[in-house]
A and B are shown apart, each in its own frame.
Chain A
């Protein structure tokens, strides 16, 4: 898992540019909310909405992966968990791996469910 994160520049830009996409998408949603309203018809038949929401969810998972990975490698370490207890510090690497698998699985599940609900 760590290998894909070694190119720090790419992940740094991925997280920032995805954030810019989120802002654009939210402005579009806000505009729709105030002009025509968010109705059942809009959610189900606007292809622009369905496509942009799909991209939003996929990018959100990438954005969250990078963010949660950063948080994990910052706080779930031998040093920081060692502040609590040395036993916890010793198993920091295992705990971080478990945490990483959990958020990867949850992210994949969320993305899959959204894509299914949007398009099928």
Chain B
């Protein structure tokens, strides 16, 4: 018997559909921090190996990559989104560090405020990144 069927036989309201549960903002930041971390390890890092080798092989391959980057919209948007995912992990990570070392209060209200602040700062940073990279 799985946990779900166990709960169903108990004949009481169950709601473990994760898509139906409304996450508090701080929980949303926490879970997306994990998801972005997984994406960074399995996608961003492996792709960055390829890009870094292109950039360092020779001056020609460096220039070629730059030309490709500015000519090919797919490559450009791909790189920008990888960087934005990385930055998201950094921004939410800084918030976690500040809470872990008790620089930020761990109360419910201050955690909500820091979550909003993190998202606002990330949005500003994302606009700056788009402005620099596009």
**Chain A residues within CB distance 8 Å of chain B:** 16, 19-20, 22-23, 26, 40, 43-44, 60, 64, 67-68, 71, 79, 82-83, 85-86, 89, 103, 106-107, 110, 113-114, 117-118
Provide 5 A-B residue pairs closer than 8 Å at the C-beta atoms, listed in order of the A residue. Answer: A16-B97, A79-B3, A83-B2, A103-B41, A110-B46
Whether the Cβ atoms of B56 and A110 lie closer than 8 Å is no
B52 closest partner in A (C-beta): A117
Number of interface residues of B (CB under 8 A): 26
A40 touches B90 (CB 8 A): no
Report the bound CA distance from A22 to B101 in whole Å: 17
Chain B residue nearest in CB terms to A82? B2
Are the C-beta atoms of A64 and B41 separated by less than 8 Å? yes
Bits for B86-97, please: 1 = Cβ < 8 Å to A, else 0. 000010011001
Interface of A is mostly: helix
Contacts known (A107-B41, A114-B52); A89 close to B97, Cβ less than 8 A: no
B126 at the interface (CB under 8 A from A): no
Contact A68 B3 (CB under 8 A): no
Complex CA distance for A20 and B97, rounded to whole angstroms = 8
Q: Shortest CB–CB separation between residue A87 and chain B, in angstroms? A: 10
**B residues apposed to A, CB below 8 Å:** 1-4, 16, 34, 37-38, 40-42, 45-46, 49, 52-53, 55-56, 59, 62, 90, 93-94, 97, 100-101
Q: How far is the CA of A107 from the CA of B90 in the complex (A)?
A: 19
Residues in chain B near residue A71, CB distance under 8 A: 34, 37-38
Closest-by-CB residue of A relative to B17 is: A83
A68 touching B38, Cβ below 8 Å? yes
A117 CA to B90 CA in the complex, in Å?
Answer: 25
Residues of A within 8 Å of B62, CB to CB, are 40, 43
- Of A20, A40, A86, A118, the contact of B2 (CB 8 Å cutoff): A86
What residue of chain B has the Cβ atom nearest to residue A33's Cβ? Answer: B132
Q: Are A68 and B56 touching (Cβ within 8 A)? A: no
Contact A68 B97 (CB under 8 A): no
**A110 and B53: CB pair below 8 A?**
no
Q: Cβ of B4: which chain A residues have Cβ within 8 Å of it? A: 82-83
Contact B94 A23 (CB under 8 A): yes
Max chain A Cβ within 10 angstroms of own Cβ: one of B37, B41, B49, B56: B41
Cβ contact of B49, chosen from A64, A83, A103, A113, cutoff 8 A: A113
A16 to B1, CA, bound (A): 40
Question: Which chain B positions have C-beta within 8 A of A20?
Answer: 97
